[in-house]
Amino acid sequence: MHRIAVIPGDGIGPEIISEGRKVLDAVSEHYGFEIEWDEFDLGAERYLAQGELLTEEDLIALSRCRAIYFGAIGDERVKPGILEKGILLALRFHFDQYINLRPVKLLQGVCTPLAEKTSEDIDFIVVRENTEDFYVGIGSRFQGKEKKELEVIRELYYIKFGLDVESDAEEIAYQIGVISREGASRVIRYAFDLACQRRKKLTSVDKANVLTDIYGLWREVFTEEARAYPDVETEFNFVDAITMWFVKNPEWFDVVVTPNMFGDIITDLGAMIQGGLGLAPGGNINPSGTSMFEPIHGSAPKYRGLGVANPVATIWAGSLLLDQLGEHTAAAAILAAIERSILSGITTRDMGGNSTTSEVGDAVARFVTLS
């Protein structure tokens, strides 16, 4: 039996999570294992009613589950960033979910904006470091010439670059990116291990030609870790170059490992070339702890309750969840069932169809029992 925490969240979150649960319940029954659901009321409604985001009691209860199934977060009544930082990012950091796993795979029957590319050309995985880089939250803004902090920043600019911040500057802002050797090493090793299970090719992304300190360390660690994997072909790509090659030659890639910020950017590009955000799942993974799985799209509040939201990314995230729990056959069955439902023409309007959210969930749940 697997105990899974579920956080439906905001907007279309409850609708798409409902379909994901429907499919997971169907596949668990078909393959002979049990799921015990533990639902958590986290999101805009509780925040607006009680002023609570994520409590210590919530974290203790969530830690009893090896997996969290997450819908979507964000509400037009709440200032952007409050829910996202206070719940989603807080969960990632608290449970040290240092792997963000994003499969970029074009399913049969799905259209890609890339001319002449097929499902044989687009099938790779991005492994994004999930807890460091520029997302550690170190930064500030300073106003007023009298601020001592502003003078310190001016001095640093002059020492480092020989540049003077304009003497009449009333406000400046800074953000610091942090990469540790340990943080880089563990995500890069994970990516190498994953490449060994696939086509044995690993691409590292950085911007070490400009941001030489932070990404110079990343490149150094990658080179050191590569020595333990002589059978894996390796290469370096600068982040601006890899966006070009994703579009021109996606078939070149197998596993891609990247620091946090660059991973955030290139995986949205990956989502588009695999058919759109409605088809893009993500996993926030701690290999030895509690992991969290979600669609990468937002809460889309304007579509809430209309039955038009595409649940495929959420259902696919459920496949990633089962794979992490060791239910590999069931995980593969879900992905195959998604593909069969698409080929059968059961798609929501964002994919050119007219099926409802629940009709797509029903179809995938039916197809998993036929595998």
Catalytic residues: 135, 207, 240, 264, 268
Q: Write the secondary structure of 107-119 as one string of H (helix), E (strand) and C (coil).
A: CCCCCCCCCCCCC
What's the number of CA atoms in the CB half-sphere (13 Å) around residue 135? 21
CB 275 within 8 A of CB 122: no
Residue 266 CA from chain centroid, whole number: 11
CB 17 within 8 A of CB 71: yes
Q: The dihedral of CA 237, 114, 265, 285: what is its sign?
A: negative
C-alpha span between 325 and 365 (Å, rounded):
19
Three-class SS of residue 9?
Answer: strand
How many angstroms separate the Cα of 39 from the Cα of each of 109, 185, 248, 261?
34, 34, 43, 31
How many angstroms separate the Cα of 149 from the Cα of each of 153, 168, 169, 171?
6, 15, 13, 11
Q: Residue 2: how many CB atoms within 10 A of its CB?
A: 18
C-alpha span between 41 and 10 (Å, rounded):
10
Token pair listed for 310: 């595409």
Tokens 């911007």 — which residue?
207
CB 17 within 8 A of CB 356: no
Which has the closest alpha carbon to 278: 302, 251, 258, 308? 308
CB 286 within 8 A of CB 319: no
**β-bridge partners, 81:** none
